[in-house]
Amino acid sequence: MPLVNNKVGDDCTASGDKALADGKALVDSLIKVVACYRHLASCVGGCTDSLQLRDELRQTREKAQKLAGDICHHLTSHLRDKSLPDGQRKEMELLWVAFSSCLELLHVDMCKVLNISGIVSLADSASLVHTGLEGGCSDVAARALSLPNLNQAQTDSLPAGLESQECNTMELEISQIDRMIDDMEMKVNVLRWLVEPHGPQYADPLSSTDSASMALLSIDEEQQAPTSQPLCQRSHIFVLLLLLGVFFVAATLSLCIFFFS
State the Cα–Cα distance between residues 208 and 213, nearest whole angstrom.
9
- Least confident stretch, 23-27, 86-90, 130-134, 211-215: 211-215
- Apex 32 CA angle, 31 and 38, nearest 5: 90
Put simply, whether the predicted model's pTM sits higher than 0.75 gets the answer: no
Q: What is the mean pLDDT of residues 23-33?
A: 93
Q: What is the pLDDT of residues 125-156, one digit of tens each?
A: 666 766 655 555 555 555 555 555 555 544 55
Look at residue 150 in the predicted model and tell me its pLDDT.
53
Look at residue 127 in the predicted model and tell me its pLDDT.
62
- Domain boundaries, given as residue ranges, for the chain: 14-121+135-150+161-187
Q: 95 or 195: whose pLDDT is higher?
A: 95
> Is pLDDT of 108 > 90?
yes
Look at residue 107 in the predicted model and tell me its pLDDT.
94
Q: What is the pLDDT of residues 158-210, one digit of tens each?
A: 565 777 888 899 999 999 999 998 888 888 877 766 676 665 554 555 455 55
Look at residue 228 in the predicted model and tell me its pLDDT.
47
Could you tell me the CA-to-CA distances from 60 to 22, 174, 219 in Å, in that order?
21, 14, 46
> Is pLDDT of 215 > 50?
yes
CATH 1.20.58.70 for the 14-121+135-150+161-187 domain, yes or no: yes
> Is pLDDT of 218 > 80?
no
Kindly write down the DSSP assignment for every residue of the chain, as one continuous string: -----HHHHHHHHHHHHHHHHHHHHHHHHHHHHHHHHHHHHTTTTBTT--HHHHHHHHHHHHHHHHHHHHHHHHHHHHHT-TT--HHHHHHHHHHHHHHHHHHHHHHHHHHHHHHHHHHS-TT-GGGSB-----S--HHHHHHHTT-SS----S-SSPPTTHHHHHHHHHHHHHHHHHHHHHHHHHH----GGG----SGGG--PPPHHHHHHHHHHHHHHHHHHHHHHHHHHHHHHHHHHHHHHHHHHHHHHHHHHHHH-
Q: 124 or 254: whose pLDDT is higher?
A: 254
Could you tell me the CA-to-CA distances from 29 to 20, 63, 101, 122 in Å, in that order?
14, 10, 14, 31
Look at residue 149 in the predicted model and tell me its pLDDT.
54
Q: What is the pLDDT of residues 241-254, one digit of tens each?
A: 888 888 888 888 88
Q: What is the pLDDT of residues 30-74, one digit of tens each?
A: 999 999 999 999 888 887 778 888 889 999 999 999 999 999 999
- Least confident stretch, 11-15, 121-125, 255-259: 11-15
| Other CB atoms within 10 A of residue 12 CB | 13
State the Cα–Cα distance between residues 36 and 147, nearest whole angstrom.
13
- Going by pLDDT thresholds of 50, 70 and 90, the confidence category of residue 103 is very high
Name every residue whose Cβ is closer than 8 Å to that of residue 28 and which is 6 or more positions away in sequence.
none
Look at residue 85 in the predicted model and tell me its pLDDT.
87
